[in-house]
Amino acid sequence: MSAPVPDTRRTSGVRQRGALDPRGGSRASDSQPFPVSAAWRPGDPVGRRQFVEVGAVELEAGGVLPDVTLAYETWGTLNERRDNAVLVLHALTGDSHVTGPAEEGHLSAGWWQDMVGPGAPIDTDRYFVVAPNVFGGCQGSTGPASPAPDGAPWGGRFPMLTVRDQVAAEIELTRALGLDGWHLVVGASMGGLRALEWAVLGPEAGIAVECLTVIAATAQSTGDQIAWAHPQLTAIRSDPRFRDGDYYDAAPGDGPHVGLGIARQIAHTTYRSAVELDARFGRIPQGGEDPMRGGRFAVQSYLDHHAAKLARRFDANSYVVLTESMLTHDLGRDRGGAVTALRAVTARTLVVAVDTDRLFLPDESVRIAEHVPRAEPATMLRSDFGHDGFLVEFGQLGPVVGDFLSRARPRST
């Protein structure tokens, strides 16, 4: 979701410390250097996380990653019939902290506060909700910042992961929780890719998926999505402080936050719409800055703000690993093609798109709904916020998801 535009002004013709200055923060008053990585590490405050060791995971691209751990959070109570469990899957830079305050162990408040909780559309008075941090992520689950068998961080040695690998780890989490099925699997953006994989891979592994909600996602990554991601990955890898992924021992301020910030700026442009950016910012200069004399436009300051914000709460290696997992996403790989794979989905399915989404185009959601046998016609959110509409348009999305759940309520609730 959007944050207020920071007011970084020029003084005596020299711009104050900018969002990506390695010496300090996003504003002149913030003298703290950027952390090398904001990844959660063993010994950090646990917060509301729980952990499950899922063991070795055989990777789709080859090889085995040993000793995989998933961090997760839960809300609500599992009923006696064990049929009220809901799996919530986060987007690229999200984590397991779906709802709840920013507090020790959690740098940010929950990313879907209006959707999950007592009386919310995903009602924790009725459902047992589980949200894992994705395999390859940086907030407690095994990822590049985690210790390898030799005790050092995996760093640049961390292997290629696919969406299927991530779901395979989540299947083991499901078994560790003593569940043989989910009443609902729901995800948006990258989480929607995993939700689709769950609808195929889960039943193949003996884990039932009764209902499915896929929001702002696709059955297979497109050339356009791969193209947008390429300069993001290049920005991170070209940062001299990236050190081929082995930067965890560097001093604060000496990490790859510049490359990570630029990647976020590129990505954030795809998360919002041209309509919103022009209406909200247009050609307005930032504060007292003069774009004719080296100053910024307000929209540039806005992107600087989001670059700095992500650099303080995420990890560059995880950004690379997760982005590449999205690029290789193809539900139809080794399944006869995407349409054949979609037709194999047995879950009752709700598909939601955002009409101004320029990352995962609405037609891609319509395609999912057209080919999944038990899917309802795709629901279209009307929004000026683009892809981020799934985080912003609660007034539209909440009732849609709530109604879908009310019509597919577990027998025991």
Domain boundaries, the chain: 50-221+329-406, 224-324
pLDDT at 20: 63
Q: Are 82 and 182 in contact (CB under 8 A)?
A: no
- Is 123 considered catalytic here? no
d(CA 158, CA 325): 13
pLDDT tens digits along 169-178: 999 999 999 9
Q: Which residue has the higher pLDDT, 253 or 9?
A: 253
Compare 272 and 408 and report the one with higher pLDDT: 272
Distance between CA atoms of residues 89 and 280, nearest Å: 30
What value does the mean pLDDT take over residues 88-117?
Answer: 96
User: Which residue among the candidates 90, 357, 365, 383 is catalytic per the annotation?
Assistant: 357
Whether 144 has a pLDDT exceeding 80, the answer reads yes
Burial 10-28 (b: 16+ CB within 10 A, else e): beeeebebbbbbeebbbbe
Q: Are 7 and 30 in contact (CB under 8 A)?
A: no
Residues 361-379, mean pLDDT to the nearest whole number: 98
In this predicted structure, the answer to whether residue 2 has a pLDDT above a threshold of 70 is no
270 within 8 A of 387, measured Cβ to Cβ: yes
Q: What is the pLDDT of residues 346-361, one digit of tens each?
A: 999 999 999 999 999 9
Q: Which pLDDT tens digit goes with each residue over 44-60?
A: 999 999 999 999 999 99
The reported pLDDT for the residue numbered 52 is: 98
pLDDT band at 205 (very low <50, low <70, confident <90, very high): very high
Give me the chain's average pLDDT, please: 92
- In sequence order, what are the residues at sequence separation of 6 or more whose Cβ sits closer than 8 angstroms to the Cβ of residue 312? 25, 34, 35, 38, 107
**Residue 189 annotated as catalytic:** yes
* High-pLDDT (> 70) share of the chain, %: 92
Q: Does residue 113 surpass a pLDDT of 70?
A: yes
pLDDT greater than 70 at residue 333: yes
Asked if pLDDT for residue 251 goes beyond 50, the answer is yes
Catalytic residue (choose from 146, 189, 273, 383): 189
CATH tag, 50-221+329-406: 3.40.50.1820
Tokens matching residue 68: 């995989």
Q: Residue 23: what pLDDT?
A: 46
Find out whether 193 and 329 touch, Cβ atoms under 8 Å.
yes
- pLDDT tens column, 273-320: 999 999 999 999 999 999 999 999 999 999 999 999 999 999 999 999
pLDDT of the residue at 21: 60
Is residue 114 part of the annotated active site? The answer reads no
Of 257, 268, 329, 387, catalytic: 387
Strand duo 128-132 + 64-75: pairing? antiparallel
The confidence band for 194, taking pLDDT boundaries of 50, 70 and 90, is very high
Provide mean pLDDT across the span 10-37.
Answer: 53
Task: Using pLDDT thresholds of 50, 70 and 90, give the confidence band for residue 409.
Answer: confident
388 labelled binding-site residue: yes
The fold adopted by the segment(s) 224-324 is: Rna Polymerase Sigma Factor; Chain: A (1.10.1740)
pLDDT at residue 254 is higher than 90: yes
Q: How far apart are CA 107 and CA 35, in angstroms?
A: 13
Predicted confidence (pLDDT) at residue 22 exceeds the cutoff of 60: no
Q: What is the CA radius of gyration of the chain?
A: 21
Residue 264 known to bind ligand: yes
Q: What per-residue confidence (pLDDT) applies to 146?
A: 98
Exposed (0-12), middle (13-18) or buried (19+): which is 151, by Cβ within 10 Å? exposed
| b/e code 235-263 from CB counts within 10 Å (16+ = b) | bbeebebbbebbbbeeeebbbbbbbbbbb
Return d(Cα 120, Cα 402) in angstroms, integer. 8
End-to-end Cα, the chain, rounded Å: 33
* pLDDT above 60 for 376: yes
User: pTM for this structure?
Assistant: 0.93
The residues with which 352 forms a beta bridge, in sequence order, are 215, 379
Q: Which residues of 348-371 are buried (b: 16+ CB within 10 A; e: fewer)?
A: bbbbbbbebbbbbbbebbebbbeb
